[in-house]
Amino acid sequence: MSYQRLAAMLVDLKRQPETAFLRDCHSQPLQQTLMDLETAFSNFFAKRAKYPRFKARKITQHSLRFPQGVVVVDERTISVPKIGLMQAIIHRPLMGIAKGATIKQDATGAWWVVFVCHIDRPDVPMTADRPVGIDVGLESFTTLSTGEKTAPPKFYRHSQKKLARAQRKLSRAQKGSNNRLKAKKRVARLHKKISNQRVDWLHKHALGIVRRFDMVCIEDLTIKGLVKTKLAKSFNDAALSTFMQRLQEKAEWHGRRVVKVGRFYASSKTCHVCHSKTALTLADRVWTCPTCCTTHDRDGNAAINILHEGLRLLAVGTTESQNAAGDGVNPAKRW
């Protein structure tokens, strides 16, 4: 059924005694839910997603989306339609024009208000005076073409023992008891803390790179394929895909360029001095080029090659390498 038909049925449902609870909620969140339902079924019939999952009323995590009406009254108060004034901690003033708000509850039981605001991006001219190449990985989270390396923080690995103890207490608790609910929230708080630590670190690390360099060249990796390997836990803990998204967002906001080099470009196996290729394994972290006898650090050499390929792509007028390895050109002749 279409959204128009469901919206008409919603009016009748509010009048029936068994569904009279729908009158307690504002009409906008109910309509937004029906829109989401229509989108979910459209994606299912288009074979873009699985069949929509039923969500019962008794779920502990709730959300309400308001296209309009939620207003920040002062530093401690917000106004919500049909609810009234509510106390809130406004951690920073709203920027631009508020276009909507979502009130949601996380697994720890805390409630959050997320505003969608329209902001004009500052007009900053793009330059490429200070380019840098970045190679990402697990041994060193980022290796810059300047030689700088940043170790991965491994927030999940460092909290594994605490998580294991909390999960054991949750498994022992009787289902339906208050102790089980408390243990469940304790596990959720630990996961939330790890997530907050990771998000904060990724924001700061990406912003630090963007502020230092005018152009960032990075390899376009398939993270979905990497998380299916035996190193899935390490890749999920590193959140390389999230880092690339944050890097792209902050670069656009600060007027920087981000050039993506194709994933098939053999950046690690190509000598950046003589441009000859050498067969390497993942265990080879330091190798010597058999042609020019130059000793390379694997990640540092890859970062330099990514920088060179990014500058080449920028010179030919594109910002993304589709298939840098399969273009039929000898890498030694590119230079």
Would you name the residues annotated as active-site residues? 135, 219, 299
C-alpha 292, offset from chain centre: 41
CA dihedral for 272, 275, 276, 281, sign (positive or negative): positive
Q: In what order do the strands lie in the sheet with 84-87?
A: 71-74, 77-80, 84-87
CA nearest 144: which of 286, 265, 300?
300
Our CA angle for 311, 317, 321, nearest 5°, is: 65
**For residues 74 and 23, what is the distance between their CA atoms, to the nearest angstrom?**
29
- As a whole number of angstroms, the distance between CA 269 and CA 250 comes to 30
What are the residue ranges of helices labelled H in 176-283? 178-212, 223-226, 232-238, 240-253
Cβ–Cβ under 8 Å, residues 296 and 285:
no
Per the CB < 8 A criterion, the answer to whether 98 and 115 are in contact is: yes
Phi-psi region of 74 (alpha: psi -120 to 50; beta: other; left: phi over 0): beta
Rg (CA), the chain: 26
